Structure 1
Amino acid sequence: MIRFEGVAKTYPGQARPAVAGIDLTVAEGATLALIGPSGCGKSTLLRMVNRLVDPDAGRVLVGGEDVAGLDPVALRRRIGYVLQGVGLFPHRSVAQNVATVPGLLGWPKRRIRERVDAMLDLVGLEPAAYRDRRPDELSGGQRQRVGVARALAADPAVLLMDEPFGAVDPLGRVRLQAEIGEILGRLGKTVLLVTHDLDEAVRLGDRVALMRDGRLVQDAAPADLLARPADAFVEEFVGADRWLRRLALIPATAARSPEKATDDAPRLPGGASLKDALGLLLAGGSERVGLATEGSVTLTSLRAAAVAPTRDSP
């Protein structure tokens, strides 16, 4: 759905290119997380998609079309955009903010009203309670939800998210990531996400692309990035605790042992990860914890599942 072909960009007065010959694809309906140190070029790459930045060389294709040949205004109206700090219009109500693009597209008023309420419902904001509020009456997390609702209002196939949760407090950020990630997965949107937060990248991305000095260093599934860093830079970037991060991506059922846990053993809830299983094993001092379905998890079975390739895990 989104394809970068040899794209490069050097800003005036800069000796080093911001982006240097990137080839990268975001599959239709998938989320690709772009991550890397500050100044690595990830936001520049994202802004090439909706022509806020034009490349000096190479092509950016959306749905097979070279965006260089498209009208920038028309292009931006068919691509959702969520950024840090949200960028809501402070003088407009929540409903008016969400209705921005449908209004520009000339939708009938009744259709706009129905769509606004549907989008607020989608992001967990009761329409009757929030549609007439102003942005300064909302918390950071609520403003971010409105920003997502606005980006999705015209039902774009492509969504760009540039540090979307950076202004939300840490506890609210984790919850919001989970909820928005579930919504985007359910809607089947093609998402390009820029973040500096590795946990956010591996939690939300179907793939993670790590950049350094304008170049692509590694593009991999999150579990593969953590298990098999491409070089010393990637290994340092993902950190010494990368194996613990990886456990959170693998379902506890991947470590299923056929033996039953005892009746008094701790039990994992449905949807638990290997990280959840390890925590329960350590906290309870148990040799075995029960799964929500049949079987159990032990430290031995967990260790085996943790080092196995994710694609082969049950």
Structure 2
Amino acid sequence: MIRFEAVSKRFPGAPGLAVDHLDLTVPEGRTCVLIGPSGCGKSTTLRMVNRLIEPDSGRIAVGGSDIRAADPIALRRRIGYVLQGVGLFPHYSVGRNVATVPELLGWPAKRIAERVDAMLDLVGLDPALYRDRRPASLSGGQRQRVGVARALAADPPVLLMDEPFGAVDPVARARLQEEIGAILKRLAKTVILVTHDIDEAMRMGDLVAVMRDGRLLQADAPAELLAAPADPFVAAFVGRDRALRRLALLRAGDVARPAPDASGPGIPPEMSLRDALALMLAEGTDRARVTGGAEPAILTLEAIRAAAAVEDPAG
């Protein structure tokens, strides 16, 4: 768990606080996405966790321990860090880049070699093909995968990701978000991720925290944030099409109701409501049969419409 308690930061010469009395808890094994306009304090917040930036006041605890009690270098070796542009050492091979932290920790060579291959395999890069290559020979998406492998190599419980997919082309970005997000969930890492991309935030976050002018405006699960934004700024920031974004997060199995005699086109329970709606409209039907669950179920247009309902924060 990562906990911020009344954390503030002001940079010399700045007219206001970069981070203003932030209270936020990131549950263990969950991904919290910090999002907001440029200059809102999200990257400053992230970099205070590994003490690349020191807070002026308040308390940050990782795993229940105040980070001020830890040696900064030792702390950073226990926290994975992935940033935009990756920051791989160009004169090192891919394998040597991934081995960076285990080498600093003094792991035996055999253990390091096994870990490097395991991490490359984890992020979808065949060790035999990529271990000895240099970063310059890789695509942007491949370099980003190596960056994630390096951050995970020493098995840190906490991972910080600062605009990790910002330098990746749009075609590869969505696939990387899905694949890396699934890996982090499977490994049960506690993650703070900074992005300016609302779709990325909704796709990867268990918790989405919206910031503005150094202050936290709302922190909620993606579906709840889309359904009930705390104020007009949050509603405008997450977009006018937030009802459709909410449907992309919800699954057919979440809202279908048992119906032994269900009819209509068959869909799997994991299909998103947005995809289910598109299929039903294409088929000209107001219902679909949800298959593959414990018992037959039916999904109706009325149920989708209710799930898409969002509140107007302006009243």
Smaller-chain TM-score bracket? over 0.9
- Counterpart for residue 74 of structure 1: 74
- Counterpart for residue 312 of structure 1: none
Contact kept, 8 Å, 1:31 with 1:190, in 2: the verdict is yes
CA distance in 2, matches of 1:300, 1:56: 52
Q: Deviations over 1:1-32 (max 9, x none)?
A: 11111111111111111111101111111111
Q: Percent identity?
A: 67
- Counterpart for residue 240 of structure 1: 240
- Counterpart for residue 280 of structure 1: 279
Within 5 A, what are the aligned runs for 1:48-197? Answer: 48-197=48-197
The alpha carbon displacement at 1:202 in A equals 1.3
The alpha carbon displacement at 1:269 in A equals 3.5
Corresponding residue SS for 1:297: strand
Q: Deviations over 1:189-240 (max 9, x none)?
A: 0001111111111111111110000000001111111000101111111111
Contact kept, 8 Å, 2:35 with 2:195, in 1: the verdict is yes
Q: Deviations over 1:94-127 (max 9, x none)?
A: 0000000000000000000000000011001110
So what's the TM-score if we normalise by structure 2? 0.94
Letter in 1 for 2:237: F
- Counterpart for residue 39 of structure 1: 39
Q: Deviations over 1:32-86 (max 9, x none)?
A: 1100000000000000000000011111111112112211111100000001111
The alpha carbon displacement at 1:298 in A equals 2.1
The alpha carbon displacement at 1:261 in A equals 5.3
- Counterpart for residue 268 of structure 1: 267
CA distance in 1, matches of 2:167, 2:289: 39
Letter in 2 for 1:164: P
Letter in 1 for 2:12: P
- Counterpart for residue 302 of structure 1: 304
Letter in 2 for 1:267: G
The alpha carbon displacement at 1:283 in A equals 2.4
Aligned residues: 307
CA distance in 1, matches of 2:58, 2:83: 25
Contact kept, 8 Å, 2:252 with 2:268, in 1: the verdict is no
Letter in 1 for 2:173: R
CA distance in 2, matches of 1:287, 1:261: 12
The alpha carbon displacement at 1:246 in A equals 0.5
CA distance in 2, matches of 1:169, 1:283: 31
Give the unaligned 5+ runs of structure 2: none
- Counterpart for residue 203 of structure 1: 203
Give the unaligned 5+ runs of structure 1: 310-314
Contact kept, 8 Å, 2:286 with 2:300, in 1: the verdict is yes
